[in-house]
Amino acid sequence: PEDRMRLVMIYIITQENIKQEDRRLLLDEAGIAPEDQVAILALFNMGVSLQQGLALSKKLRTKEGKPEANSYDISRYVPPLRRLMEEAALNTLSVSEYPYVRPPSTTGLDQVGADLRGNKLSSWASTGGAKPRGAVGIDGGVGGGRRVIVFVVGGATYSECREMHAAAAELGKDFIL
């Protein structure tokens, strides 16, 4: 009898809005005593709708069915690497925590080298070539300035790669992993 009562309760919870006559027939067919039927009817006090056409449950279903646009952005994990990339692009990284491998030159010789290389393509290269989706290169339009090489010991996660791609698009820098 307890198993029958559990099954009936599960059925009532999962199959919303059962008509009253169907519910009575179900309880009679299951052979549940009137004392136990009181416990099943107490499901209503726990928020389970026992009647068909309850307007409140329709409102709840429509509200749950339409997620807000910003709710996903708030819950999405943003790795700490994103903050580091933004600070690197704005040249606000702490030099004591992230020292230069080679100090930046103040004479502008690095800019001369960058100008000599230029953004020209060789005569045999075409700008319409096949490129992997999401790739950023010389003709990708993201460049503009120095490239930032990011080295992650132990490898990068999918979230870090996603944020690196998004940061490259937003900040106008080339981030190389």
pLDDT digits (tens, 9 = 90+) for 105-157: 776 554 555 555 555 555 555 555 555 555 444 444 444 567 888 888 888 99
Give pTM, 2 decimals.
Answer: 0.40
pLDDT tens figures, 57-90: 454 455 555 555 555 666 677 888 888 888 888 8
What is the C-alpha separation between 168 and 22, in angstroms, rounded? 60
Domain locations along the chain: 2-65, 76-120+127-176
Distances in Å between the alpha carbon of 39 and those of 10, 42, 47, 48, 98? 13, 5, 14, 13, 65
Is residue 162 within 8 A of residue 73, CB to CB? The reply is: no
Angle 92-98-99 from CA coordinates, rounded to 5°: 105
The torsion angles phi and psi of 147, rounded to 5 degrees, stand at -90, 145
For residues 43 and 8, is the Cβ–Cβ distance under 8 A?
A: no
